[in-house]
């Protein structure tokens, strides 16, 4: 138990210091080579090659062109174009992958309407290619707006889009119920951001409890479920629950991040489970990378060791 409290403190501290400009400068200077462990490639062609190799092991993918928290709307337009190129690239190469994008990458913090139009363009392109778009969930100022975007797209018959629900938020159970009712596909996660105690569980035990609860809600409703976690407790629990309640293996999938537990991903695929790897590529790796460091002290230790070289 004391170890768990230590981990939570570590995570919060790292998410706080990662916003510090000096820490950012040091990480950009020393962390780049280690970031390659988590980032598939700096360009689309390299990322598609990586996905081919994953597919050969029976692992599906979701490709993420890195970028978030943009400062000008021209950047949002260029990310939209990059995603359209990505969807075409997936289609041409024939790899088994959908795409994941961040709403702030499409301009959510700058102009909601413009963001909606950009995401809509990407979802339409994906529909044309019979593909699917997952809108990642960012921190709580964007939760309502992200859910609104997905619901509005569904009302326009653009149903090849889904989003993500974070089990650390108190509001989560209601959001899951709403999305199930509206047929919106969800990826279920614990949550990667630093959120205040007024709106989110701060204790790993509570987050785990609510996580199991929302997985169960999905499986019980016979709704296709995407469980995105590296946590053995969650993976074992899901397998057992599915077995006991006769949920077939094609009704859910496990998702993990590129560079993490790759052997476990291959093993799950060999056991006949559906597995999807989240494959980020591009050059804007710093925010994504610091969230990965915050999740696992061992990753930070590797950076510190490399700083001396």
Ligand X SMILES: Cc1cc2nc3c(=O)[nH]c(=O)nc-3n(C[C@H](O)[C@H](O)[C@H](O)COP(=O)(O)OP(=O)(O)OC[C@H]3O[C@@H](n4cnc5c(N)ncnc54)[C@H](O)[C@@H]3O)c2cc1C
Question: Which residues form the interface with ligand X (CB under 6 A)?
Answer: 136-137, 164, 166, 189-193, 228-232, 255-257, 260-261, 278, 295-296
In what helix (H) or strand (E) does residue 218 lie, and over which residues does it extend?
A: helix 204-220
User: With respect to ligand X, which residue has the nearer C-beta, 88 or 224?
Assistant: 224
* Polymer length of the chain: 309
User: With respect to ligand X, which residue has the nearer C-beta, 69 or 88?
Assistant: 69
Give the nearest distance from C-beta 246 to ligand X in angstroms.
25
133 neighbors 157 (Cβ within 8 angstroms): no
Give the nearest distance from C-beta 187 to ligand X in angstroms.
6
Give the nearest distance from C-beta 227 to ligand X in angstroms.
9
Eight-state DSSP code of residue 138: -
User: With respect to ligand X, which residue has the nearer C-beta, 72 or 270?
Assistant: 270
Q: Which residues contact 249 (CB under 8 A, 6 or more apart)?
A: 242, 272, 273, 274
309 a catalytic residue: no
C-alpha span between 103 and 118 (Å, rounded): 10
38 neighbors 281 (Cβ within 8 angstroms): no
Give the nearest distance from C-beta 256 to ligand X in angstroms.
5
Q: Which of 124, 187, 261, 292 is catalytic?
A: 187
C-alpha span between 118 and 59 (Å, rounded): 29
User: With respect to ligand X, which residue has the nearer C-beta, 220 or 232?
Assistant: 232
Q: Which of 136, 175, 276, 291 is catalytic?
A: 136
User: With respect to ligand X, which residue has the nearer C-beta, 88 or 303?
Assistant: 303
63 neighbors 281 (Cβ within 8 angstroms): yes
C-alpha span between 45 and 148 (Å, rounded): 33
The answer for 69, left when phi > 0, alpha when psi is -120 to 50, beta otherwise, is: left
Give the nearest distance from C-beta 268 to ligand X in angstroms.
13
220 a catalytic residue: no
Q: Which residues contact 213 (CB under 8 A, 6 or more apart)?
A: 167, 173
C-alpha span between 45 and 47 (Å, rounded): 5
- List, by residue number, the catalytic residues: 136, 187
């Amino acid at each position: 138990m004391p170890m768990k409290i230590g981990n939570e403190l570590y995570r919060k501290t790292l998410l706080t210091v990662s916003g510090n400009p000096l820490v950012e400068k040091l990480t950009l200077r020393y962390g780049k080579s280690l970031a390659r462990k988590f980032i598939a490639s700096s360009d689309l062609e390299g990322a598609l090659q990586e996905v081919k190799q994953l597919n050969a092991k029976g692992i599906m993918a979701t490709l993420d062109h890195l970028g978030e928290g943009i400062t000008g709307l021209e950047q949002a337009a260029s990310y939209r174009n990059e995603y359209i190129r990505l969807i075409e690239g997936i289609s041409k190469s024939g790899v088994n992958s959908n795409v994941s994008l961040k709403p702030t990458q499409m301009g959510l913090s700058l102009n909601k309407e413009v963001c909606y139009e950009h995401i809509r363009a990407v979802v339409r392109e994906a529909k044309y290619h019979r593909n699917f778009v997952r809108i990642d969930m960012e921190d709580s100022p964007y939760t309502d707006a992200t859910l609104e975007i997905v619901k509005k797209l569904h009302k326009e018959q653009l149903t090849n889009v889904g989003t993500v629900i974070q089990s650390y938020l108190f509001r989560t159970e209601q959001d899951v119920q709403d999305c199930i009712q509206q047929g919106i596909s969800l990826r279920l996660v614990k949550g990667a951001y630093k959120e205040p105690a007024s709106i989110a569980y701060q204790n790993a035990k509570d987050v785990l409890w609510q996580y199991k609860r929302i997985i169960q809600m999905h499986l019980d409703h016979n709704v296709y479920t995407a469980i995105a976690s590296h946590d053995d407790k969650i993976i074992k629990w899901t397998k057992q629950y599915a077995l006991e309640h006769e949920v077939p293996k094609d009704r859910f999938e496990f998702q993990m991040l590129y560079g993490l537990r790759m052997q476990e991903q291959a093993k799950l695929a060999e056991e006949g489970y559906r597995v999807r790897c989240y494959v980020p590529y591009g050059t804007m790796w710093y925010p994504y990378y610091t969230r990965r460091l915050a999740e696992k002290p061992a990753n930070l230790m590797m950076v510190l060791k490399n700083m001396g070289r």
